[in-house]
Amino acid sequence: MIDRGVALLDARRRALLEAMGIVIWEDRRTPAAEGPGAMPAPLAGDTATVDDVALLDWAALEQRVAGCAACALHRARSRTVFGVGNHAARLLVVGEAPGAEEDRRGEPFVGRAGQLLNAMLAAIGLPREQVYIANIVKCRPPGNRDPLPAEAAACSDYLARQIALVRPCAILAVGRIAAQNLLGVDTPIGRLRGRPHRYGPDALPVIVTYHPAYLLRSPDEKRKVWTDLLVAKDLLDAETKP
């Protein structure tokens, strides 16, 4: 169920942030301060509460991400990789993390994997310019390793806001990290493929497929990805934009 998945993700996020020593901002109003329209007093150093991020427009959100220091990844980045594409896209593509070229240019999926992603999208009639593309994390992990759970948690509100702003008809999750973080599960990607899942309060359809970088190493799996893309195309044909 969606509610259970969201609750599981929130619980995991809280535990991971506490383990990393990252402050979890909470509403610390006294009962006397509560009431209709009452707002909590700002906390020292509080720059990115969940409610705050959820109110940002595109420009403010990108600026917030550019200055983010919520996890250790910011120390080695060249620049943040915010996202790119059509702000009113019907399909939103979520990848895992920036690589070296993405870190240099500040744009997701610009290397060989990006060229293959472009071909995948074109195969279902969607030029890159018509979709929106973002990653689970906005900074490159050292050595192109997988992002740690706490790093993904630190970026999760940014991605949630991007999804809310785009309001896509469907999400294409490419790669294990993207799929597991979006859905709040640890199920292997092979078991997540083949059927739509749902994300968020609007129950957006999520299609899971292999990452283009994996396909470059394992080209025999492209047939499975084509099947996933056809599922995504059928969903887009059936869904109307919220």
Please write the tens of the pLDDT for every residue from 192-210: 999 999 999 999 999 999 9
Residue 176's DSSP bridge partners are: none
CA 181, 185, 190: angle at the middle one, nearest 5?
A: 95
What token pair was written down for 155? Answer: 């970026």
1 pLDDT band, cuts 50/70/90, is: very low
Extract the tokens encoding 47. Answer: 């720059």
Find residue 156's DSSP bridge partners. Answer: none
pLDDT in tens, 46-75: 344 555 999 999 999 999 999 999 999 999
239 pLDDT band, cuts 50/70/90, is confident
Residue 12 scores a pLDDT above 70: no
Of 9, 12, 38, 41, nearest to 25 by C-alpha is 41
pLDDT in the model for residue 35: 39
Four-way CATH pick for 2-14+49-238: 3.40.470.10, 3.40.50.720, 3.20.10.10, 3.30.70.1050: 3.40.470.10
pTM of the model as a whole: 0.79
In percent, the amount of the chain with pLDDT more than 90 equals 76
pLDDT confidence tier of residue 20, bands split at 50, 70 and 90: very low
Give the pLDDT of residue 51: 59
The strand ranges marked E within 5-100 are 84-85, 91-95
> Coil, strand, or helix at residue 199?
strand
Which residues pair with residue 208 across a beta bridge?
173
- DSSP secondary structure string, 100-161? HHHHHHT-SS-SHHHHHHHHHHHHTT--GGGSEEEES-SSPPGGGPPPPHHHHHHHHHHHHH
Q: Which two tokens stand for residue 152?
A: 């993904």
Task: Please write the tens of the pLDDT for every residue from 129-141.
Answer: 999 999 999 999 9
Question: For residue 126, how many C-alpha atoms fall within 13 Å in the half-sphere facing its CB?
Answer: 25
Residues 6 or more apart in contact with residue 104 via CB below 8 angstroms = 78, 79
Give backbone dihedrals phi and psi of 16, rounded to 5 degrees, phi first.
-70, -40
What is the Cα–Cα distance from 113 to 211, expressed in whole angstroms? 8
